[in-house]
Copies of this chain bind each other. A is one copy, B any other.
């Protein structure tokens, strides 16, 4: 169905009619000029992020449902990175004409799945047209007790630097997706050349054979064998709210925290700058999945670079007092990768062979274009 057949208000009504807020902080969700929230004595956390087609996502790889799920996880991850709980989400969409009502419904399906996972209410939606690609903006609102909030600025000398999960896998997932896209387009180009040849020589039997071959492209199956984890990390990341729960249960209060969207290097630099400190990261301690390692080798890429600068990990990077060393050790899925130093000592990676390299921050979004 075309969006114009429903109209702007019809579309918004259709998408939001079954949305029922579940959080006590949601007083009024979709349907007025603004959402109305009540946070009482808690502090309100707000984070907003824009995603542009061709820059942050490529609809050749990712469908609308996964895209919504992923972008929602990304903004929720920002709230978790403050040691807060996401409670509401507001979505803005700029849609070019090629999008049908069904596409937007799929987007909302993915958005609802992400929101259900963390009991988040969809409290607003703005939909407009776009002359070109798809633009998505998500605003996530969350809450935390004042004393629970963890900023980027609280790291202290001797603190341990910890990271959840593993790094570089989403980036290697992207490399595989890009390779398969290239293979797909090469096959199409070869096919088109064969058709042109057959047309030039007016070879009807050949053209008929090629016509039959055509359908195989619609069934193109990218080769993801042995890379499933990497593809999953790229297309369906999970915000690490579970890590906050583990830390709480272990009675650990991080001194600083950030989520890894632009890569470990960039994020640890943010912590160092905001906390006015330096750091040492041990290359050997950076958690890497075996699929990531194997794929780096296959692509002849540097594994540590993928882990440091790949980005899109959406893992939590945080610091804890050195006294929490043993408590952290007992938690599965958290790795101690280094320690905080005086600011004057700078931010360095200690390689496996004992050399020190200065860590360079690298922004993600703007560098891709």
A15 at the interface (CB under 8 A from B): no
The chain B residue sitting closest to A257, CB to CB, is: B33
Interface residues of A in 34-52 (CB under 8 A from B): 34-41, 43-52
- Contact in complex: B152, A366 (CB < 8 Å): no
- Contact in complex: A79, B128 (CB < 8 Å): no
Interface residues of A in 73-92 (CB under 8 A from B): 78-79, 81-82, 84, 88, 90, 92
| The one of B28, B38, B369 that contacts A151, using a Cβ cutoff of 8 Å | B28
A1 to chain B, nearest CB (A): 14
A221 to chain B, nearest CB (A): 28
- Contact in complex: B133, A131 (CB < 8 Å): yes
| The one of B92, B133, B266 that contacts A48, using a Cβ cutoff of 8 Å | B92
| The one of B52, B93, B139 that contacts A139, using a Cβ cutoff of 8 Å | B139
Which of A3-11, A16-24, A228-236, A241-249 has 4 or more CB atoms under 8 Å from chain B? A3-11
Point out the residues of chain B lying under 8 angstroms from A50, CB to CB. Answer: 92-94, 126, 128, 135, 137
The chain B residue sitting closest to A27, CB to CB, is: B43
A259 at the interface (CB under 8 A from B): yes
A124 at the interface (CB under 8 A from B): yes
A368 at the interface (CB under 8 A from B): yes
CA distance A360 to B137 in the complex (A): 30
Interface residues of A in 240-297 (CB under 8 A from B): 257-259, 266, 274
- Contact in complex: A32, B152 (CB < 8 Å): yes
Point out the residues of chain B lying under 8 angstroms from A193, CB to CB. Answer: none
Point out the residues of chain B lying under 8 angstroms from A47, CB to CB. Answer: 33-35, 90, 124
A59 to chain B, nearest CB (A): 12
Point out the residues of chain B lying under 8 angstroms from A97, CB to CB. Answer: 369
- Contact in complex: A149, B41 (CB < 8 Å): no
The chain B residue sitting closest to A368, CB to CB, is: B129
CA distance A13 to B57 in the complex (A): 25
A127 at the interface (CB under 8 A from B): yes
Point out the residues of chain B lying under 8 angstroms from A126, CB to CB. Answer: 48-50
Interface residues of A in 49-108 (CB under 8 A from B): 49-56, 78-79, 81-82, 84, 88, 90, 92-94, 97
* 17 pairs of residues in contact across A and B, judged by CB atoms under 8 Å: A8-B364, A34-B82, A34-B84, A35-B47, A36-B82, A50-B93, A50-B126, A50-B128, A52-B94, A52-B131, A55-B128, A55-B131, A56-B128, A128-B366, A129-B369, A132-B132, A132-B133
Report the 7 A-B pairs with minimum CB-CB distance, sorted nearest first: A8-B363, A137-B137, A50-B92, A129-B369, A132-B132, A34-B47, A33-B81
